[in-house]
Amino acid sequence: MDVKFKADRIVTQAVDTVATGIQADALQLGIDYEFRRNVIVSLAAIYEKDRFVGQFREDKVYAVLSEVKYLLNRHWSISVRHQYTNRDSNIPTSIYDKHEIGINVAAQF
């Protein structure tokens, strides 16, 4: 079992808003567990606070990620993942819930 903690601060330009930039502070806590040989189950919880420079807008993002990955060999893996995201904003048109489901194939060399 692996336990991961990650903290990020990202400052970037805003493309689709009238803000000049976005400062995003994020925390992530995750667990990877090798359920069977070459089968890894991952769970993660994410919190992010976004501040839009030049606007009176502040968003809080909560997300939960789950993934099951099968390691085919040393270089290839396939996985199924689900991510639920909840964005809460002081701008009512920017509030939403989102579910993302994906099948991923990855190569690692």
Q: Residues 7-49: pLDDT tens digits?
A: 999 998 877 666 778 899 999 999 999 989 999 999 999 999 9
> Using CA atoms in the order 78, 3, 47, 25, what is the torsion angle rounded to 10 degrees?
-100
Q: Give the model's pLDDT for residue 48.
A: 96
pLDDT at residue number 26? 96
Print the domain residue range for 56.
Answer: 2-107
State both tokens at 18. Answer: 């009238």
Q: What is the pTM of this model?
A: 0.82
pLDDT band at 56 (very low <50, low <70, confident <90, very high): confident
- Provide the number of structural domains found in the chain: 1
